[in-house]
Amino acid sequence: MTKLSKKMVKAINEQVIAELESSYIYLNIANYYVEKGLCGFGSWFKKQASEEVEHAEKFIDYLHSNGEKVVLADISAPKDKFKDDRSPLLKQIEHEELVTSLIYKLMDLAIEDKDYRTQEMLRWFVSEQAEEEEHSHELLDKYDRYGKDLTALMHLDKELAQRK
Ligand code: MG
């Protein structure tokens, strides 16, 4: 079987940790909202956190199916302290843009390596990131539209609780 480059294996292992760190960042946001009594927002971000674990697992499975070893490393605790209900939503946008840049860097490396198999795998993440960025903007837009009115905010909170 054509081997992945050492550099690629290291980079994918780092991405596993980045995805788990994303999960931790969203769990921190979920906790913030639950503690503020916005349990729908909390539940939405808990699901987001689980999705990030699934992303990590996708990269892990990819390493394994290529006969490579997974090397786990420390996950840093999120340092974010939120001053109001809007700032976690900004943090999400910022964070998803950062993750997109990490996926693009992996793609750059796969192109440099002429590693077509990894490019194919990464294309799923490229589309996923487009969706993640879009959804994070949508959520901020909704908050800006409904966040100031308590009744509207409670409706939005209920809507977010429905996320599957
Ligand atoms: Mg992710």
Residues in the chain with pLDDT values less than 70: none
pLDDT of residue 156: 95
Give long-range contacts, CB 8 A cutoff, 24+ apart: 24-31. 24/49, 24/75, 24/76, 24/77, 24/78, 25/78, 25/80, 25/91, 25/95, 26/52, 26/92, 27/78, 28/78, 28/80, 29/80, 29/82, 29/88, 29/91, 29/92
pLDDT of residue 1: 78
pLDDT of residue 164: 80
pLDDT of residue 51: 97
Distance 19 CA to ligand 1 centre (A): 5
Distance 58 CA to ligand 1 centre (A): 10
Distance 150 CA to ligand 1 centre (A): 32
Alpha-carbon span 35 to 117, nearest angstrom: 44
